[in-house]
C-alpha cells in the first residue's frame, strides 16, 4: 500500500472520489466504517446505486458545476444536515437520528489540468451540532420547567402581534398563576415547589397545540400565546387547562398535593400593542385571584361568561 493510500484510509474524515459519470473510484476506510459498504462493493458503480437519495437536481447541478468550471461546493450542516445517511457515533448523537455532516465537493485535475474526477470530503460534526443545539435551547428555554423563558416569549409576542395585525388574524393571550404557591414552598419546601412548577408546566404544555407558545413568565406565573385563536376559544381553552390542573394530584416524596391555577385572557385588538395585550391579560388574572382564585376571567369590556369544551381547539 502506498503512503498516499495509507493516509487516504487512516484520516478521520470520509473521502470519496467519482469519475465524470459519477461512478465511485475511491472509497476510504472511514466511509466503509460508517456505511457498512466496503470499497470493493461500491467502486465502479454509480454513487446513486447505493445512495439514491443523492439523485436530486440540486446534487447533480453541483456535480456539473464542479466538472464544468472547477467550482467548489459546500454542503453545510445547518442547511443540509447531511449528505450520507449514517448513524451518529457516541451518546452526543442522541438528539439526531442521522450523523450531522459538513461536506465539501471539489474537482480533481489530471496532468493536463483537465478535470477528470470529483472528490467529496465528509466531516462528522454531530458533536458540534449537538452543542450548538443545547446552547440554543439554553437561550430560549427555562432551566427548571423546560418550556420557553420570558425573554423568548416576549420576542415571540412582538413578532406574533405584528404578523396578526398585518394580516388581520385573531390572536389571544393567557396569563396563568399557580394559586397559593408561597404556601406550598413554606409548607413543603422549595424542592416540592420546583416539582409543582414542573408538573403544572407539563400539564399546561400537554393541553395546547404545537403552534401555541407557552412560557414561564416569572416565579409561579406562566403566559401562553394562542395564534389564530379568538377570545371565545381562548377562554374555553383556559377553562380546560384550569380543570386539568385542578383534577390532578401531585405526589412529592410522601406528600400528595392539590394545586389550582387562576387565568386571565385577552385578545388582540385593532392597533393594539404587545404591552396592552399583556396588560389586559394581567388585569384579568388579578380579578380572577381577587374573586377567589381557581377561575378564569376575561379582559374587561366583554361578556364574562366562560364557555366550556372538551378538548383544545384544533
Active-site positions? 220
Q: Quick one: 243 exposed, middle or buried, by C-beta within 10 A (0-12, 13-18, 19+)?
A: middle
**Helices (H), strands (E): how many in the chain?**
12, 12
For the chain, first and last CA: distance in Å? 64
Return the number of other C-beta atoms located less than 10 Å from residue 216's C-beta.
25
Closest alpha carbon to 173 in 125, 217, 130: 217
Q: 130: which strand partners?
A: none
The answer to whether residues 268 and 164 touch, using CB atoms and an 8 Å cutoff, is yes
CA distance 309 to 240: 7
CA distance 280 to 47: 61
Amino acid at each position: 500500500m502506498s503512503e498516499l493510500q495509507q493516509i487516504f484510509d487512516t484520516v478521520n474524515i470520509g473521502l470519496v472520489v467519482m469519475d465524470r459519470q459519477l461512478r465511485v473510484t475511491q472509497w476510504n476506510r472511514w466511509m466503509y466504517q460508517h456505511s457498512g459498504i466496503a470499497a470493493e462493493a461500491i467502486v465502479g458503480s454509480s454513487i446513486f446505486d447505493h445512495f439514491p437519495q443523492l439523485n436530486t437536481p440540486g446534487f447533480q447541478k453541483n456535480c456539473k458545476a464542479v466538472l464544468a468550471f472547477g467550482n467548489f461546493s459546500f454542503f453545510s450542516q445547518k442547511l443540509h444536515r447531511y449528505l450520507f445517511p449514517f448513524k451518529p457515533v457516541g451518546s452526543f448523537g442522541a438528539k439526531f437520528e442521522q450523523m450531522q455532516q459538513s461536506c465539501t465537493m471539489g474537482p480533481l485535475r489530471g496532468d493536463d489540468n483537465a478535470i477528470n474526477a470529483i472528490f467529496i470530503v465528509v466531516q462528522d460534526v454531530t458533536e458540534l451540532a449537538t452543542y450548538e443545539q443545547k446552547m440554543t435551547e439554553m437561550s430560549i428555554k427555562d432551566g427548571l420547567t423546560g418550556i420557553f423563558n420570558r425573554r423568548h416569549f416576549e420576542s415571540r409576542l412582538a413578532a406574533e402581534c405584528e404578523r396578526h395585525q398585518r394580516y388581520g388574524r385573531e390572536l389571544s393571550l393567557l396569563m396563568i398563576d399557580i394559586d397559593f404557591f408561597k404556601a406550598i414552598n413554606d409548607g413543603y419546601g422549595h424542592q416540592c415547589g420546583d416539582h409543582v412548577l414542573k408538573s403544572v408546566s407539563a400539564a399546561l404544555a400537554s393541553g395546547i397545540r404545537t403552534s401555541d407558545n407557552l412560557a414561564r413568565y416569572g416565579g409561579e406565573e406562566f403566559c401562553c400565546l394562542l395564534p389564530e385563536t379568538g377570545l371565545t376559544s381562548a377562554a374555553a381553552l383556559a377553562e380546560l387547562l384550569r380543570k386539568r390542573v385542578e383534577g390532578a394530584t401531585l405526589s412529592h416524596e410522601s406528600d400528595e398535593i392539590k394545586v389550582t391555577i387562576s387565568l386571565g385572557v385577552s385578545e388582540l385588538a385593532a392597533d393594539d400593542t404587545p404591552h396592552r395585550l399583556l396588560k389586559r391579560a394581567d388585569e384579568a388574572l388579578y380579578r380572577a385571584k381577587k374573586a377567589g382564585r381557581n377561575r378564569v376571567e376575561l379582559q374587561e369590556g366583554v361578556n364574562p361568561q366562560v364557555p366550556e369544551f372538551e378538548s383544545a381547539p384544533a
